Amino acid sequence: MKTFLFALLTLPLVLVATTGAYAQNAVNTEVPEPKKNVIAVEKALGPNDLSAKTSISQKALKDFAKSYKSVNGETWEKTSEGYRVRFTSDGVMTTIYYGRHGKWFGSLKGYKEDKLSPELRKMIKREYYDYSITYVQEAETIDSEGKPTYIIHLEDNKSIKRLRICDGQMEIWQEYKKQS
């Protein structure tokens, strides 16, 4: 399950890191490269495609409906691992992952600094006051026991940093220098 969390966090990061014009001087070199095509999408299901939703685990549909009552317009996808559902609500992009039999595996949320809790923002700005928080990723899996892991994207005029915060502990996870 730890590799699943790693896949959840690294796939969007790899996409962001490879689209910028930055020299990649990684500080944390022991982080392995993510597997290609970690989750292959087999079929995307739109919010109004009720006949296609019958192929999704009823357990996953019930769990989603119970947990996210006010969500409309979600998109379901069948993956090689099971199912994933995506939606945006109040400026937070959320992806929920379920196994083939409908068991919740994890969730990934993405949002801007204004949605970050004041306590976390204060913790980050206390040490990185000259950096802008450009994006926040919040991941939770069945192994995390209700404790989310945050990946904080920071940027100043010379570098990009990604912090990892879990259970009150903050560390630099990745660091890149911008080209001059």
| 29: CB partners within 8 A, 6+ apart | none
Confirm if 100 and 132 have CB atoms less than 8 A apart. Answer: no
Q: What is the DSSP letter of 80?
A: S
Instruction: Enumerate the β-bridge partners of residue 106.
Output: 97, 141
- What is the C-alpha separation between 18 and 7, in angstroms, rounded? 16
- What is the C-alpha separation between 138 and 155, in angstroms, rounded? 18
Looking at residue 175, its amino acid is E
Structure confidence at residue 146 as a pLDDT band (50, 70, 90) = confident
Give the pLDDT mean for 32-37.
34
The mean pLDDT value of the chain amounts to 79
Looking at residue 59, its amino acid is K
Give the pLDDT mean for 126-146.
94
User: What's the topology of domain 2-178?
Assistant: Nuclear Transport Factor 2; Chain: A, (3.10.450)
State the pTM of this model: 0.71
Sheet of strand 82-89, all strands in order from the earlier edge strand to the far edge: 22-23, 169-178, 159-166, 149-155, 132-141, 104-111, 92-99, 82-89, 75-79, 41-45
Give the pLDDT mean for 7-23.
43
Q: Look at residue 17 and tell me whether its pLDDT is greater than 80.
A: no
- What is the C-alpha separation between 18 and 4, in angstroms, rounded? 21
- Give tens-digit pLDDT for 61-94: 999 999 998 888 899 999 999 999 999 999 999 9
Domain boundaries, the chain: 2-178
